[in-house]
Amino acid sequence: MSDHEYTPKSKFGKWFNDRLPLLTLANHLTDYPTPKNLNYWWTFGGILTFCLITQIVTGLVLAMHYIAHADMAFDSVEHIMRDVNYGWLIRYIHANGASMFFLAVYIHIFRSLFYGSYKAPREIIWIIGIIIYLLMMAAAFLGYVLPWGQMSFWGATVITNLFSAIPLVGEGIVTWLWGGYSVDNPTLTRFFTLHYLIPFLILGLVVLHIWALHVPGNNNPVGIDIKKPSKDTVPFHPYIVIKDGFALLMFMIVFAFFVFYTPNILGHADNYIEANPLVTPAHIVPEWYLLPFYAILRSVPDKLLGVVAMLSAILILAALPWLDTSKIRSAVFRPLYRQFYWILVADVLILGYVGAMPAEGLYLLVARVATAYYFLHFLVILPVLGWKEKTLPIPLSITEPILGGSPNLATAKNKESLNK
């Protein structure tokens, strides 16, 4: 938070600001001191905000033409694609926008993992982020059901049936979710309602996420606490605004490539066949962004334990600030963690790949090994690494590596104790 008091220049501005301090908020956001060494991995927060707004705006427009009824949903989506002016464009932006949203959020999450952004004092930011991620998955799943194609229908059947793994009350919960004895019209209408609601919940949580971020300020690639404002910081505007804006433009090129050149490559052809409760498609797979968790689900040969493993794989992230015992945030100064980090990245990519393949033979074996390693990373490697790892000396400030070390003995000692 900027410490200085802000007074608007104009008389009206002052009058207004005394009654509702919006201008103070705007001033805080523009002056907000930001570490000056933020790299492009830090631009994905802004990109994600853009993704959320895009999904809300295109979704609002689609809802004007879509009909949430089991007999009409599929046709209304085709109507949007063929008849509605620019309907094809709006729907392709919305459908590919979901994938772009997840692409950006995965980069955002793995940036946090590399630079230790989840560590004290930023645990709450991290946990809010995990809740946003869970809601994103819910919104994506619910939205995927709405076109009422074969993948919509059977995806909805498989995912809602996950709840039937709960002992005793599972079947009752599934019937309650469906509003019937199978996925049908009542299911579709409630999924549409919830799909409409969740983005606004996410929007509210994004406000909390940014609010919580502005209390300690941004982490940075060096991962040290910095004085704010100081020679280590720059004001958010114009420095970060321009950098974020440039990154957003690059991101939009990728986005536009998918929308205009390969709008269906991330979807499944089966979803252009209307839902049929009598025939399950030969090979059901979720969207690419859920594949690693799907692989974990399938790698466990027991129904309840499979569901537990899949949920744990996501929820374990919320405990990360306490599982990672190292005091050093940035992987730049953690030579061993850096290697395990990249092994984890590879592990998740492998899980994603085998999640898209049939669950048999070698694929199943690979999925099991990769699942075991995923949990090993968080439950064993991270806690032990904090104790055992010999970290590199961290600089005292962002400018120190450039301008030379501090002659101050007290801070130098403090630095040594940090490295133990």
Partner 1 sequence: MTEKKTNRRDFLFTATYAVGAVGVGATIWPMIDQMNPDASVKALASTEVDVSAVNPGKTITVLWRGKPIFIRRRTQDEIAEARSVKLEDLKHPEKDEDRAANPEWLVMLGVCTHLGCVPLDQKGEYNGWFCPCHGSHYDISGRIRKGPAPTNMEIPKYEFVNANTIKIG
Q: Which amino acid is at 253?
A: I
Out of 121, 238, 277, 405, point to the residue binding partner 1 (CB under 8 A).
Answer: 277
Out of 23, 98, 103, 183, point to the residue binding partner 1 (CB under 8 A).
Answer: 183
Is residue 193 at the binding interface for partner 1, with CB under 8 A as the rule?
Answer: no
Nearer to partner 1, 154 or 192 (CB): 154
Nearer to partner 1, 121 or 186 (CB): 186
Out of 13, 204, 238, 358, point to the residue binding partner 1 (CB under 8 A).
Answer: 358
Give the DSSP H/E element, type plus range, for residue 33.
strand 33-35
Out of 91, 298, 334, 377, point to the residue binding partner 1 (CB under 8 A).
Answer: 298
Out of 45, 306, 321, 352, point to the residue binding partner 1 (CB under 8 A).
Answer: 306
Q: Which amino acid is at 364?
A: L
Dist. CA 146–CA 187, nearest whole Å: 10
Binding map of partner 1 across residues 89-118, x = CB under 8 A, - = no contact? ------------------------------
Query: Least Å distance between CB 176 and partner 1?
Result: 5
Is residue 284 at the binding interface for partner 1, with CB under 8 A as the rule?
Answer: yes
Out of 2, 175, 312, 406, point to the residue binding partner 1 (CB under 8 A).
Answer: 175
Dist. CA 68–CA 93, nearest whole Å: 20
For 33, phi then psi, to 5°, come to: -70, 125
Nearer to partner 1, 186 or 245 (CB): 186
Dist. CA 125–CA 24, nearest whole Å: 23
Out of 36, 190, 228, 338, point to the residue binding partner 1 (CB under 8 A).
Answer: 190
- Is residue 335 within 8 Å of residue 392, measured between CB atoms? yes
Is residue 197 at the binding interface for partner 1, with CB under 8 A as the rule?
Answer: no
Counting residues that bind partner 1 (by CB under 8 A) gives 37
Is residue 65 at the binding interface for partner 1, with CB under 8 A as the rule?
Answer: no
Nearer to partner 1, 51 or 295 (CB): 295
CB neighbour list of residue 15: distance below 8 Å, 6 or more residues apart:
none
Dist. CA 375–CA 381, nearest whole Å: 9
Q: Comparing C-alpha atoms, which of 229, 374, 386, 245 is closest to residue 300?
A: 374
Question: What length is written for the chain?
Answer: 420
Query: Least Å distance between CB 341 and partner 1?
Result: 31
Is residue 302 at the binding interface for partner 1, with CB under 8 A as the rule?
Answer: yes
Nearer to partner 1, 307 or 323 (CB): 307
**Cα R_g (the chain), whole angstroms:** 24
Beta strand extents in 192-240 (DSSP E only): 233-235
Q: Three-state secondary structure along 92-128?
A: HHHHHHHHHHHHHHHHHHHHHHHHCCCCCCCHHHHHH
Is residue 191 at the binding interface for partner 1, with CB under 8 A as the rule?
Answer: no
Out of 278, 362, 409, 410, point to the residue binding partner 1 (CB under 8 A).
Answer: 278
Q: Which amino acid is at 287?
A: E
> For 59, how many CA atoms within 13 A lie in the half-sphere containing its CB?
25
Is residue 180 at the binding interface for partner 1, with CB under 8 A as the rule?
Answer: yes
- The owner of tokens 């205009």 is 260
Dist. CA 369–CA 18, nearest whole Å: 61
Binding map of partner 1 across residues 130-169, x = CB under 8 A, - = no contact? ------------------------x--xx-xxx-x-----
Chain residues binding partner 1 by CB under 8 A are 154, 157-158, 160-162, 164, 175-184, 186, 190, 277-284, 298, 300-304, 306, 358-360
